[in-house]
Every structure is written in C-alpha cells, then in structure tokens.
Structure 1
Amino acid sequence: MSPSDIVIEPVTTKAQTKQFVDLAYRLNQDDPNWVPPLRSEVYKLITPGKNPFFEHARVQFFLAKRNGETVGRISAHIDELALSQPAEQGMGPGTGNWGLMEAADEAVMHALVLAAENWLKEQGMTRVLAPFSMSVWEEPGLLTKGHDHSPMILMGHHNAAYQSWIESYDYSVAKRLVSYYLEVASGLPELINRIVASGERNKRITIRRVDKKNFDRDAAIIMGLLNDAWSSNWGFVPMTDHEIAHAAKSLKPIVHEELIRIAEVEGEPVAFMMTLPNINQLVKPMNGSLWPFGWAKLLWWLRYPKSKNMRVPLMGVKTELQNSRLASQLAFMMIEYIRVDASQKFGTTHAEIGWILDDNQGMVAIANSLSAEVNREYLIYEKAL
C-alpha cells in the first residue's frame, strides 16, 4: 500500500473517539498475550475532566483511514509540567510526546507519527520523546522484550513489529526501562535475611502497613514520598494534588493493607513500597467489558483476591537517604514483609518489580541481590523536530 492511500483525521467527534478506542481491540485480537483493557478505563484515560493529566497538558488524537476503514491511531501531547523540568533530566523545554499508537502496517505508523510530529511542531516543540500513553506515570515506552507473556497490571504491551517501524523513521533510543521477575514463595537469600534481622533490632525503624481506615492520609504520605524520591530521576514530572487524589481513588479497590508498607525512622515516613495483585489475570478474558458476568467476577475477586503474580509498580526512599545503607535495609525489610503476607494470604509465588530505569544503580543492585531476572524491556525514543 502507498502512503498516499492513507488519510489522517484529527479526532473531534464522539464517533471518532469510539473508533479510536475500538481499533486497539481489533488490531490486537489475534495476539494471545495482549490484555484487552476495560473500555471504561480507556475512555477515562482519554477524556478531559476524567483524567487530571488534561489539566496541565495539550492533547490531540488522530485516526488513520484507508479506503474509509480505520487502520491506525496516535495521540500527540504536550505536558506543561514536563516542559518546566530540567532538560538534563529527559523532559524540559521544547519537548513534546506521542503515544497510544496502533497501526495496521509500517506505512500507517509513519503517517501517524508524521502527523503527531507536525502537530507538535505547530505547537512550538523542537523535540519529541515517545511513546507515552499518556504521561510518564501511566505506560511509558515501547515494549521490545517480553512479547511472549502477558503484561501485569498497569504495564503496556505492543506489537513486536512496532520497534523496527519506529526505528526506521529516524528515532534513536533515549532511555531503557526494565522490569524484573522473581520467585518469592521460598524466601529471600540468606544475606538479605540477615540485613532484615539487623533492621528489626534497630528501634529507630518502624515498618507499618497502610491503614485503609486512614486511606487518604496514607495515600498522601506515599505520593509525597514518591514526588520526593523520584525528583532527580530521568523523565520525572511531579504529580499534582489532583493527580494524587485521582490515582488514590483509582487504586483503592485493589489496595490491600498487607501489600503496601511505609517505613518510618524515628516516627518520620521516609520510604514506601506498593504492591498490587495482578488483576490482568481476571480482566484478560473479559475482552474489555464487564458485561454480562464480568462485574460479578470482579467484585468477588476484589473481595477475595488470589493472585500467583504480584507487581511492585512503585517504591521510593526520601532523597536525603538515597545511596545509604539504611535505604537498602528499609527496602529489603519492606520486600520481606510484603513477600510473607503475599505468599500466605494471596497465594503469591512470583513478583514483578518495575518498571526501573536500567541505569538506576540502587534499584538494579536490589534486583540483582534478589536473583531477579529482566523479563520485560521498554524503550523510550527521541528525535529532533
């Protein structure tokens, strides 16, 4: 097919929005490892007023048509908070993004990316960093390793062909993100056990569960620690108060006190670790809809969850303690306490930690000490406009 056969349309109507959402289910229906997200969650992601990302971002969605048929989609967006970050941390002035891309073939992908680039240039951007679906806090990067198994909760999954299609369009790799997979049922290495035991003898340290009766308080503590702990990371964009509240509300149904820990030193919160049961195992056969019986299965699972796999999406230590022995000790203590509870209550045998920047030496060292192995890789690309 020739690129001249492809027509790019900006999404402006409800009908086009529906085509934008539905396309992913059609193009990925034959991929046994793709997890169809609930359509209600996709609409929430891309709808102003439902996703607080739009409060500080400019966004344009595009469709690709060929002979009247929808064959591709992409989002182009500019995060005003990202523009205000130091350029040496990845984002910065003049940096726009695209994401949520789906394409039937390489020509369609190139036409979509060109449309996104042109829109970003019209908005005054001089550089693109992609893909992001849509903020760095959601699903950053393109999956380039791990296509042979389904993603866990809140992780992206893409057609393996997309990598060569994007790289053939003058994009270079800006950053590599990885996730680590490890067996947890049988316990941690003896060295780690000794580190944990040493921490338990330190009366300054308290490792506590979150308290769902005071959920808003603990959610604010965790998100405050997150904004501090990740502030110097590549690609960091601070979460707003509204985004923190929105994330807390969205995650509350799958939050379990046993799976999230806050570490305190002399009564002050200094670190946290969040673990989530892999709800994707339940969502996958629903094909994007809770009807007719999915809602009942979901409610039952939320009340009595069993999950052989867990994911650790977020973990952080206050900046002032990073690169210290205490930081590693607190991390291992939280990992061990959650591991025990996850195994005993939820039947968990394996966990995924990530994503992690592959040059984050502290987190990579922790993963290596646990004998964890990289199971998924995501690449973030860049290009001058």
Structure 2
Amino acid sequence: MGSVEVVIDRVEGKLGREEFVDLGRSFATREPHWVPQLRSEQLELVDPARNPFFGHADHQLFIARRNGTPVGRISAHIDRLALDLPREQGFGPGAGMFGYFDAEDEAVAHALLHAAEDWLREQGMNRALGPISMSIWEEPGLLVKGQDHDPMIMMGHHPEHYQHWIESAGYARAKTLLTYDLDVTGDFPPLIRRIVQSGERNDRITVRPVDTARWDEEVAIILEILNDAWSDNWGFVPFTPAEIANAGKKLKPIIHADINLIAELDGKPVAFMLTFPDVNAVLRKIRGRLFPFGWFHLLRWLRRPRNAAMRVPLMGVRRELHNSRLASQLAFMMIGQIRDVATVRYGTRRAEIGWILDDNQGMKAIADAIGSEINREYAIYERSLVD
C-alpha cells in the first residue's frame, strides 16, 4: 500500500472544511486518551467567516488521499501580524506556519509537509514553523511528552510517532512549551505563605474576582494586560479588537468569577489569572455530542462543576513590574486564592498550569516554588524553505 501514490488535494468550501475536521476527528479516536471535542467549535476555528483570526491571516487546507481514501491532513497559513514581529521572537518576515497535522504513515506525513511548504513558498515565505493550529493562541505545538494521560481543556493531543515523522522531514525544534501539574490539596511551603501573607497586609494591593456583570469590560482589561505583559515573549502575536470580542463571547460560558482574578495596585489593574474548569471531563461522557441530551449535561456541569480539575492557561503581569518581587508576590496571591476557592467550592484536587515557555525563568520558578511538576511538553518545529 505504501507504494501507491499519495495525492494532495486543496480543501475548498464548507463541505471541504467539514471533511477536513471530520478527518481529524477520525484520527483522534485512535488515541486512547483522546477527548472528543465539540464538532461545531472545531468547524468554527477553520471557517474564515466565523473566526476573526482570518482577518489577519491567509491559509490553505490540504487533504492527502490514497486510492481516493483520505489518509492525512494539514494546514498552511500566514499570520500577517506575526510577519511584523522581530525574528528573535520566533516569527518575523518570511515566517509561515503549518498546523492541523495528521497522517497515516511517514510517506503521507512528508507529502503533506511538502505541500504546505510549497504553498508557503508560493506566498513568499522562507521559513515554516509548526504545528500551530492555527492561531498561536489556539493549539500551538506538538505533544512530545504526556501522551499517557488525558489532555485538559483547550490542549492538543498527538501520538508519539508524529514527532519522528516531522523531524525526519528536516525540522528542528525551535521552542518547547511546558505544562505543570499541581496537587492543590496541600499548602504552600512556609516561604511562599509568608510572601502571600505580606501581600494580603499591603493596602496598595487588591486581588478581586472578575465582574461577570461587566464581562466585556473585564475581558478588555485582561487582554490589554496580556498584550502588554507578553509583548516580549517568543511567539507573541497581539490580540486584535475582533479577537478580543470573540474571546469574550466564547469564554463566558466557562468563566466562574471566583476563580478568575484581576490584581490591582493602587486601584490600577496590573495582573490577572484565568482558570478554567476542565470541561473535557464532561465532553468525554457525552462523546463530544450536544444532541440529543449532551447539551443538558454540559450546561448543568458548567453551572457548577464538581470534583473538577482546573487549568490555568493564562496569567500576566504588566511589563513595568517584570523582574520585581511584586510580580511573583501577585502570582502567588492569585494562585493561593484560586486554590482555596477551587478546593472548597468545586472539589478540585489537581490543577494544570501552562503553557509556559521553556525559557520563561520567572514562571518556571513560580511553578517550582509551589511544588508543581512538568507533565507535558509541546514542541514547535522550524525548517528553512530556502534551498
């Protein structure tokens, strides 16, 4: 079968996008720790009419076939905002990307990667980075460690052999993203407790829950801090106003005010921490299907998650406070407050923090200080497109 020619088709239109998404879902079912996601949300992510990412991105989807049978898929895309960034921050001029990578075998994998590379060259790109599916804020990186346990909310999950197939196509690792697992049933070490208690006595500091009655305003505050805090990070691409509005709409159903916090200094918002209950727990039970009764179970769980693991996907402290004692103090205060609420109100026993860039020494130090351990690694690969 391996000798049969692999044909790469460009995906066009609504039906093509549906086939592309369903093919990815069929590959995912082969993995024992795969958690079925909502098909409607996966379709939205690749629909230029519904995902504001495409307001600053060009893309092409591909499906590989043997004897007419789909055997793999890939996206090639260019984020025009990323092209304006300095090269030392990961992207910059000439940086194209690939994502949504699935393949039946190594020959299919290489054919798909070559198709994506050819399209990127046609658009004038000289480097390919990936997998990034599709915005850097969606599912960046290939899972290279942690296939032995279920992914949490908004985390990609990939089989081990994909790493070999990408590397054998000439790709080298450009960046590693880490996630940390934390047992939240225990207390902080004595030093961290003293740091938190000192912050709680500081009248200049206020740590408050987000106000869901002013949700759009709170989202704007959070993402304004994020755009400032992360602006020097590798791979950072700022959120646009349309993306901020879309993020607010999509996140609102999973937001519980008491575990999503904004820290203020002298009344000015300077830091935030978002925490999401791991909706994958209920998605597995309803097999990713809203109908006929999945919507009822999902909505009931979202209103009051019980025995829910938590994921902290994003936090940020304004740049003016970076490398200061106050920055880590605010982080410890927010983590402590979220831990206390989550364990009492939601029965939480474990949480996951990440992604964290492998060279983000500040965040890695915070994760180490509270006793968390690395449980997943994601790799972003890079290859020159210049012969």
What is aligned with 2:5? 5
CA deviation profile, 1:318-367 (whole Å, cap 9, x unmatched): 00101100001010000001110111111001110000001100000000
**Residue identity opposite 2:170 in structure 1:** D
What is aligned with 2:338? 338
What is aligned with 2:164? 164
Out of 22-31 and 239-248, give the one that drifted further: 22-31
Q: How far apart, in 1, do the equivalents of 2:364 and 2:3 lie?
A: 43
Q: How far apart, in 2, do the equivalents of 1:301 and 1:3 lie?
A: 49
TM-score w.r.t. the length of structure 2 is: 0.98
CA contact under 8 A between 1:175 and 1:380: conserved in structure 2? yes
SS in structure 2 at match of 1:5: coil
Segments ≥4 residues shifted beyond 6 Å: none
What is aligned with 1:67? 67
> What aligned pairs does 1:5-24 form with structure 2 within 5 A after superposition?
5-24=5-24
**Residue identity opposite 1:91 in structure 2:** F
What is aligned with 2:46? 46
CA contact under 8 A between 1:231 and 1:238: conserved in structure 2? yes
Q: How far apart, in 2, do the equivalents of 1:3 and 1:53 lie?
A: 38
Percent sequence identity is 59
What is aligned with 1:153? 153
What is aligned with 1:196? 196
> What aligned pairs does 1:278-357 form with structure 2 within 5 A after superposition?
278-357=278-357
CA contact under 8 A between 2:4 and 2:67: conserved in structure 1? no
CA deviation profile, 1:176-218 (whole Å, cap 9, x unmatched): 1000001012222221111000001111111111011111111
CA contact under 8 A between 1:260 and 1:274: conserved in structure 2? yes
Q: How far apart, in 1, do the equivalents of 2:43 and 2:193 lie?
A: 45
Q: Is residue 375 of structure 1 aligned with residue 359 of structure 2?
A: no
What is aligned with 2:243? 243
CA contact under 8 A between 1:98 and 1:129: conserved in structure 2? yes
Shift of 1:291: 1.3
Shift of 1:288: 3.0
CA contact under 8 A between 1:3 and 1:111: conserved in structure 2? no
**Residue identity opposite 1:204 in structure 2:** R
CA deviation profile, 1:9-61 (whole Å, cap 9, x unmatched): 00013332222111122222232201121100011100012100000000100
**Residue identity opposite 1:121 in structure 2:** R
Q: What's the RMSD between the two structures over aligned residues?
A: 1.0
CA deviation profile, 1:359-384 (whole Å, cap 9, x unmatched): 10000000010111100000000000
What is aligned with 2:177? 177
Q: How far apart, in 2, do the equivalents of 1:40 and 1:208 lie?
A: 34
What is aligned with 1:363? 363
Out of 307-316 and 137-146, give the one that drifted further: 307-316
Shift of 1:3: 6.2
SS in structure 1 at match of 2:155: coil
**Residue identity opposite 2:205 in structure 1:** I
Q: How far apart, in 2, do the equivalents of 1:221 and 1:77 lie?
A: 29
> What aligned pairs does 1:102-113 form with structure 2 within 5 A after superposition?
102-113=102-113
CA contact under 8 A between 1:3 and 1:107: conserved in structure 2? no
Out of 18-27 and 346-355, give the one that drifted further: 18-27
Q: Residues 215 and 145 (structure 1 numbering): CA distance in 2 closer, same or farther, change over 3 Å?
A: same
Out of 11-20 and 209-218, give the one that drifted further: 11-20
Q: Is residue 264 of structure 1 aligned with residue 277 of structure 2?
A: no
CA contact under 8 A between 2:8 and 2:64: conserved in structure 1? yes
CA deviation profile, 1:272-299 (whole Å, cap 9, x unmatched): 1111000011112333321121111011
Q: Is residue 88 of structure 1 aligned with residue 92 of structure 2?
A: no
Q: How far apart, in 1, do the equivalents of 2:108 and 2:150 lie?
A: 25
SS in structure 2 at match of 1:49: coil
CA deviation profile, 1:213-268 (whole Å, cap 9, x unmatched): 11111111000000000000001101101101101110000000111111111001
TM-score w.r.t. the length of structure 1 is: 0.98
Q: How far apart, in 2, do the equivalents of 1:347 and 1:3 lie?
A: 54
**Residue identity opposite 2:261 in structure 1:** R
Q: How far apart, in 2, do the equivalents of 1:277 and 1:45 lie?
A: 21
Q: How far apart, in 2, do the equivalents of 1:272 and 1:294 lie?
A: 32
Q: How far apart, in 1, do the equivalents of 2:167 and 2:65 lie?
A: 23
**Residue identity opposite 1:104 in structure 2:** E
What is aligned with 2:141? 141
Structure 1: runs of 5 or more not aligned: none
Shift of 1:4: 5.3
Q: How far apart, in 2, do the equivalents of 1:267 and 1:13 lie?
A: 49
Structure 2: runs of 5 or more not aligned: none
What is aligned with 1:212? 212
Q: How far apart, in 1, do the equivalents of 2:22 and 2:56 lie?
A: 26
> What aligned pairs does 1:123-138 form with structure 2 within 5 A after superposition?
123-138=123-138
CA contact under 8 A between 2:97 and 2:129: conserved in structure 1? yes
Q: How far apart, in 1, do the equivalents of 2:254 and 2:85 lie?
A: 32
What is aligned with 1:98? 98
